[in-house]
Amino acid sequence: MSTHAATSAIDHHHDPATTTGIPSKKLFMWAFLASDCMFFGTLISTHLIYRLHPTPGSPDPRKLFSLDLTLFATLVLLVSSLLMALAVNACQKNNIRSVRRLLLGTIVFGLVFIMCQIFEYGNFLHEGLTLSSSIFGSTFYTLTGTHGCHVAIGVLWLTLMYIRTFKPADERPWVLRSLGHFLVFLVVVVAGVTSVLGAAHAIEAHGLAAGPLAQAGRHNLVAIIVTLAGLAALCWLGRARKAVDFTESNAIDVESLGLYWHFIDIVWIVIFTVVYLLEYL
Amino acid sequence: MEATAHAASGGTEVHASAPRRSWLFTRPTAKTGIVSWLTTVDHKRIGLLYGISALFFFLVGGFEALLIRIQLAVPNNTFLAHQTYNEMFTMHATTMIFLAIMPLSAAFFNYVMPLQIGARDVAFPRLNGFAFWVFLVGAIILNIGWFVKSGAPDAGWFGYAPLTNKTYSDQFPGDMSTDLWIMGLQILGVSSVIGSLNFIVTIINLRAPGMTMMRLPTFTWMTLFTAFLIILSFPAITIALVELMMDRYFGTSFFEAANGGLPILWQHLFWIFGHPEVYILILPAFGIISEILPTFSRKPLFGYPVVVFSGAVIGFLGFGVWSHHMFTTGMGTVATAAFSLMTMAIAVPTGVKIFNWIGTLWGGHLQMRTPMMFALGFIWMFMIGGFSGVMHAAAPADAQQQDSYFVVAHFHYVLIGGSLFALLAGIHYWFPLIFGRKVSEFWGKLSFWIIFIGFNVTFFPMHFLGLNGMPRRTAVYDGNMGWNDANLVSTIGAFILGIGIAVYFIVMVRTYLKGEKVRRDPWDARTQEWSLPTPPPEHNYDVIPTIHARDAFWYEKTHKAEIAREKAEHAREETAHGGIHMPSQSWFPLLAATGLLIGAIFFVNHHYEGAIAGGLLFVFGVYCWASEGPGGYHVHPGDHDDKDAPKY
């Protein structure tokens, strides 16, 4: 609807084409988040209800949890929210180079969070906690898994937004190139996560010893090479371009993404409190 | 993607001229034919698509109801096998609620609401198309069961645990009937939530200048409340269905009592959705009635702010009464008393509305046209349903009525006598606006009386059946229970009702083809949508109206000079900006929904590779959707025929 907004200076908090002045995308996102609150509300309630009705054979969560790891993941997600907020701010100031860097930072922190979750799941599975081992397993994996999916969708969206910042201003065909860019990104993420998790498991098992680490490196050699090659490709794809069709008028898109990202951060704080910390009271 | 070139005079439309766009992103431009419907983003066409699908499924659900009534006509009947009977009542309820009443309401939301607020479309036109296609996907998934070995879903429309677990619901390994139900409802939930988010943003953000919230037509208000109820209540059932799905597919035990699960939790989660759902079904009806009564009483709506706020109160309280569906589960006296009181409290705002409607009629210059007949029938019948509802609110009485035909009588009075009567009234009321033709009063009223009589003959005896102890969902009863006469009467009534519905629709089809043509504003109505030519042009308003009063069109009709001046000025402004900006059509909402359909079908069959392929098609559709951009072209008013435009 913003037919002639581009001619005047952009006011990021007011869209003259709408009745309330609130950009429609932002309103949509707020309404969606209200709905999403109810999704997580239902899941968290389920977990809390079954916490009061434990089944025989339920594990003691305190013996299972590794608070250090979860606290680290929580802090990582909190910092990612800071980067996200800075990215929105940079976009409103039309500083696209900063937007790219901050989006990449948010992506990396989001990925670290996901890796912590995968690592944690691996440990729990090792301890014998599965979806069907007890009702605790059912509610724990469903709740944190749904949150993890939200984070993964957020990372996907961040990645697409990052790639979107390279759309050329002229009408050159771009879709195939963007798709290629995305595929490289995907490969780097998968290979990178594999490599880092391999290293993490080696460190967990043997401490920071050179020998086992090197062995884990050899074991994941392909993944490491692919990661490095992919990173080089990403650097090449992400080199400075001529004029791009991504300006402060796109700040509302980044802001909507930011709202989503902050929301899953807040949800995690609730989950961290009622699923983890509550067990230590 | 603004159109760079402006139309030369005489040209109707100029499409965005994007050089070197690949074929993938070439926007469809067909205005007629099948492609125009498959790619449409026009809220009026999407409304019609919703309406036609809803009416189709309404007939399907009605057919299922007639089969149920035939089975129950005489004792010890063998017309339907027990298994088929279970499928019938499950699918009758699911179809009528999710595939008939809700989409028929959505049809009115789509068609009428943007016109009422003076908008040219909804806030996100492609998303609106997507919501419809996703609805169709959900409807297909739910009904696939009829054509495969598994059969249709058979666990009842509220799918109580443990009926839905593998032990009880699967007749053979790989029976997917319950999986179809789970998947279908989840997809329908996605559609409803997406559609509702769109309506919320549209109502808040796309109002014409001067259309303050307290000037919104009541139907638009009720659309807003319904949309909020949908986005806040559907997550509960979606998560409940996800948990059930995890139980059935991945070995969790959320509702498996054998492994420590709590089947009662399903009931709570289902009714936290299920009770607001009742208001999702009835609030649009309140809105329609609140439009029709003032028009045919020749008076403004009595107590407009009270009608609006009582709607809000109903929506709010609707989230706090779910456990009255569970009075006999042994929740404890405190919980039972609390939910009992809340349920009685919700009768207050509902009663307030009834008095507002009576106040509107009071001293009015009543015109007994067909929509008015249905509206008056609505008030009466809905009140009867409301009274038996208050009887259920008393927990001790409910303990007797629980799961009996008394409950069946109650909810058919509020759903048919309430929602459906209002929707049928709405079809009659807006038919001239949508198609430019009017149903003959004789045939309209005849269909009303047959429906009215058939409905009461069917459902009134069910009160007595219930009090005499006939349980609902019973496929066969013995001849010495004292239920024979009432059941036979009820079955005869059902066929009268069926004939009434048949007359109604035959008359509608005939009117569409050969009915009397009408000019603009045939009812001398009050709200803005009637200022449009019949049928409205694609861009709705040549000039976005400025709203000066609650009954905006009434004001327009009584202040012609002022409005003409304003319109001329706005038209000049808009022409200076290059004409009316319209959203381009798109293939991708349909493509994304197709991906969803393919993925869902493979998923319920446990073919996860196919499910992933469907999911990838969905993602591809969404990616292309995002990449093609909103698009748009310009329309220049004055090109279409507007012969009966009011002369100012």
Q: Say how many CB pairs under 8 Å bridge A and B.
A: 124
The answer to whether B568 and B155 have CB atoms below 8 angstroms apart is no
Residue A107 lies in a domain: yes
pLDDT at A10 (0 to 100): 67
Q: Model confidence at A26, in pLDDT bands (50, 70, 90)?
A: very high
The answer to whether B25 and B628 have CB atoms below 8 angstroms apart is yes
CB–CB contact B235 A35 (8 Å)? yes
Letter string b/e over residues B470-500, b meaning 16 or more CB atoms within 10 A of that residue's CB: bebebbebeeeeebeebbbbbbebbbbbbeb
SS3 B542: coil
Whether residue B1 is predicted with pLDDT greater than 50 in this model: the reply is no
Torsion-angle region of residue B520: left (phi > 0), alpha (psi -120 to 50) or beta? Answer: beta
Residue B49: other Cβ atoms inside 10 A: 22
Which positions 100-139 of A are in contact with B (Cβ < 8 Å)? 130-132, 134-135, 137-139
In the structure encoding, which two tokens stand for residue A279, read together? 């067990």
Q: Where in chain B is CATH 1.20.210.10?
A: 31-518
Q: What residues are paired with B633 via a beta bridge?
A: B15, B582
pLDDT at B549 (0 to 100): 92
Letter string b/e over residues B552-566, b meaning 16 or more CB atoms within 10 A of that residue's CB: bbbbbbeeeeebeeb
Same domain, A63 and A150: yes
SS3 B645: coil
Give yes or no for B7 touching A (CB within 8 A).
no
Q: Model confidence at A176, in pLDDT bands (50, 70, 90)?
A: confident
pLDDT at B633 (0 to 100): 86
Residue A34 lies in a domain: yes
> What distance in Å separates the CA atoms of residue B336 and residue B152, rounded to the nearest whole number?
35
> What distance in Å separates the CA atoms of residue B100 and residue B65, rounded to the nearest whole number?
13
Mean pLDDT of A248-258: 93
SS3 B39: coil
Domain B31-518, architecture per CATH:
Up-down Bundle (1.20)
In the structure encoding, which two tokens stand for residue B19, read together? 């050089």
Q: Name the domain count of chain A.
A: 2
Residue A157: other Cβ atoms inside 10 A: 16
> What distance in Å separates the CA atoms of residue A5 and residue A11, rounded to the nearest whole number?
9
The angle at the Cα of A105, spanning A121 to A255, to the nearest 5 degrees, equals 100
pLDDT at B14 (0 to 100): 42
Task: State the amino acid at position A197 in one-letter form.
Answer: L
Per-residue pLDDT tens digits for B462-495: 999 999 999 999 999 999 999 999 999 999 999 9
The answer to whether B190 and B257 have CB atoms below 8 angstroms apart is no
Q: Which residue has the higher pLDDT, A39 or B564?
A: A39
Same domain, A84 and A156: yes
C-alpha pair distances (Å), B461 with each of A102, B119, B332, B456, B495? 69, 47, 33, 8, 15
Same domain, A127 and A111: yes
Which helix (H) or strand (E) segment holds residue A225: the answer is helix A221-237
- Looking from the CA of B425 toward its CB, the CA atoms found within 13 Å total 31
pLDDT at B200 (0 to 100): 97
Same domain, A31 and A144: yes
pLDDT at B169 (0 to 100): 87
Task: Provide the whole-model pTM.
Answer: 0.93
The answer to whether B110 and B44 have CB atoms below 8 angstroms apart is yes
Q: Model confidence at B305, in pLDDT bands (50, 70, 90)?
A: very high
| Residues counted in chain B | 648
CB contacts, 8 Å: A20 with chain B: 204-205
Residue A184 lies in a domain: yes
Residue A171 has its nearest CB partner, among B20, B205, B259, at B20
pLDDT at B4 (0 to 100): 34
Same domain, A139 and A238: no
Mean pLDDT of A9-36: 87
Same domain, A181 and A151: no
Phi, psi for A168 (deg, rounded to 5): -65, 150
Give yes or no for B269 touching A (CB within 8 A).
yes
Report chain B's mean pLDDT, rounded to a whole number: 91
Among all residues of B, which ones are annotated catalytic?
A: 92, 121, 157, 191-192, 275, 277, 279, 290, 324-325, 350, 353, 472
Among positive and negative, which fits the CA dihedral B31, B37, B41, B46?
A: positive
Same domain, A184 and A256: no
Picking from B170, B246, B142, B257, the residue whose alpha carbon sits closest to that of residue B601 is: B142
Same domain, A85 and A141: yes
Picking from B202, B156, B203, B207, the residue whose alpha carbon sits closest to that of residue B178 is: B156
Task: State the amino acid at position A90 in one-letter form.
Answer: A
Same domain, A83 and A150: yes
Which range is least confidently modeled, A6-15, A194-203, B382-391? A6-15
Give yes or no for A183 touching B (CB within 8 A).
no
Q: Which chain A residue's Cα is nearest to B252?
A: A132
CB–CB contact A28 B232 (8 Å)? no
Mean pLDDT of B184-196: 97
Largest CA distance in chain A: 68
CB–CB contact A49 B193 (8 Å)? no
Same domain, A62 and A155: yes
Q: Which chain A residue's Cα is nearest to B272?
A: A42
Q: What residues are paired with B15 via a beta bridge?
A: B633
> What distance in Å separates the CA atoms of residue A170 and residue A161, rounded to the nearest whole number?
19
Same domain, A187 and A276: no
- The CATH number linked to A151 is 1.20.120.80
Whether residue A131 is predicted with pLDDT greater than 80 in this model: the reply is yes
Which range is least confidently modeled, A31-45, B415-429, B615-629? B615-629
**Which residue carries 């932002």 as its tokens?**
A26
Give yes or no for A171 touching B (CB within 8 A).
yes
In the structure encoding, which two tokens stand for residue B89, read together? 């009542």
In the structure encoding, which two tokens stand for residue A216, read together? 């884990």
CB contacts, 8 Å: A50 with chain B: 262
Q: Model confidence at B173, in pLDDT bands (50, 70, 90)?
A: confident
Q: Model confidence at B577, in pLDDT bands (50, 70, 90)?
A: confident
Letter string b/e over residues A57-84, b meaning 16 or more CB atoms within 10 A of that residue's CB: ebbebeebbeeeebeebbebbebbbebb
Whether residue B161 is predicted with pLDDT greater than 50 in this model: the reply is yes
CA B304 to the chain's CA centroid = 23
**Which residue carries 């009071």 as its tokens?**
B362
Q: Quote the crossing angle between the two packed helices A96-126 and A175-206, to the nearest 10°.
A: 40
CB contacts, 8 Å: A46 with chain B: 239, 243, 254, 265, 269
Cα dihedral A145→A146→A150→A153 (10° resolution):
70
Rg (CA), chain A: 22
Q: Which chain B residue's Cα is nearest to A160?
A: B623
Report chain A's mean pLDDT, rounded to a whole number: 90
CB contacts, 8 Å: A178 with chain B: 627
B288 Cβ neighbours under 8 A, 6+ residues apart:
B108, B219, B375, B422, B423, B425, B426, B429
B102 Cβ neighbours under 8 A, 6+ residues apart:
B54, B192, B280, B281
Q: Model confidence at A178, in pLDDT bands (50, 70, 90)?
A: confident
pLDDT at A9 (0 to 100): 62
The answer to whether A223 and A194 have CB atoms below 8 angstroms apart is yes
Mean pLDDT of B392-400: 92
Residue A187 lies in a domain: yes
Phi, psi for B193 (deg, rounded to 5): -65, -45
Alpha-helical runs (H) found in B318-369: 333-361
> What distance in Å separates the CA atoms of residue B478 and residue B623, rounded to the nearest whole number?
60
| Residues counted in chain A | 281
Whether residue B646 is predicted with pLDDT greater than 80 in this model: the reply is no
Give yes or no for A8 touching B (CB within 8 A).
no
Mean pLDDT is highest, among A216-220, B171-175, B298-302, for: B298-302
Whether residue A246 is predicted with pLDDT greater than 80 in this model: the reply is yes
Residue A7 lies in a domain: no
Q: Are strands B633-635 and B580-582 parallel, antiparallel or unpaired?
A: antiparallel
Whether residue B501 is predicted with pLDDT greater than 50 in this model: the reply is yes
Which range is least confidently modeled, A11-15, A39-43, B300-304, B509-513? A11-15
Quote the percentage of chain B above a pLDDT of 70. Answer: 95
> What distance in Å separates the CA atoms of residue B116 and residue A142, rounded to the nearest whole number?
43
pLDDT at B12 (0 to 100): 39
The interface predicted TM-score of the complex, written ipTM, equals 0.91
Same domain, A256 and A229: no
Q: Which residue has the higher pLDDT, B7 or A164?
A: A164
In the structure encoding, which two tokens stand for residue B515, read together? 């009915």
Q: Model confidence at A2, in pLDDT bands (50, 70, 90)?
A: very low
The distance of B259 to chain A (nearest Cα, Å) reads: 7
pLDDT at B24 (0 to 100): 76
Among positive and negative, which fits the CA dihedral B291, B295, B301, B305?
A: positive
In the structure encoding, which two tokens stand for residue B378, read together? 């609505």
Residue A72 lies in a domain: yes
The string of DSSP codes covering B596-637 is: HHHHHHHHHTT-HHHHHHHHHHHHHHHHHHHHH-S--EEE-T
pLDDT at A3 (0 to 100): 42
SS3 B291: helix
Picking from B129, B109, B104, B127, the residue whose alpha carbon sits closest to that of residue B40 is: B129
- Structural domain that includes position A235: 173-244
Burial of B453 (0-12, 13-18, 19+ CB in 10 A): middle
CB–CB contact B18 A171 (8 Å)? yes
For testing the chain B interface, which of A25, A46, A153, A165 should be mutated: the one with the most B CBs within 10 Å? A46
The string of DSSP codes covering B221-266 is: HHHHHHHHHHHHHHHHHHHHHHHHHHHHHH---SS-GGGT--HHHH
Per-residue pLDDT tens digits for A105-127: 999 999 999 999 999 999 999 99
CB–CB contact A142 B205 (8 Å)? no
The answer to whether B500 and B445 have CB atoms below 8 angstroms apart is no
C-alpha pair distances (Å), A168 with each of A101, A164, B551? 18, 9, 49
Picking from B27, B90, B4, the residue whose alpha carbon sits closest to that of residue B625 is: B27
Mean pLDDT of B536-555: 91
Quote the percentage of chain B above a pLDDT of 90. Answer: 81
Quote the percentage of chain A above a pLDDT of 90. Answer: 65
> What distance in Å separates the CA atoms of residue B234 and residue B225, rounded to the nearest whole number?
14
Whether residue A8 is predicted with pLDDT greater than 60 in this model: the reply is no
Among positive and negative, which fits the CA dihedral B224, B225, B228, B230?
A: negative
Per-residue pLDDT tens digits for A84-102: 999 999 999 999 999 999 9
> What distance in Å separates the CA atoms of residue B313 and residue B307, rounded to the nearest whole number?
10
Q: Quote the crossing angle between the two packed helices B405-414 and B441-467, to the nearest 10°.
A: 160
Picking from B144, B167, B125, B93, the residue whose alpha carbon sits closest to that of residue B539 is: B125
Picking from B525, B544, B528, B559, the residue whose alpha carbon sits closest to that of residue B648 is: B559
Instruction: Name the DSSP class of B15.
Output: E
Whether residue A7 is predicted with pLDDT greater than 80 in this model: the reply is no
> What distance in Å separates the CA atoms of residue B250 and residue A231, rounded to the nearest whole number?
36
Give yes or no for A50 touching B (CB within 8 A).
yes
Q: Which chain A residue's Cα is nearest to B240?
A: A42
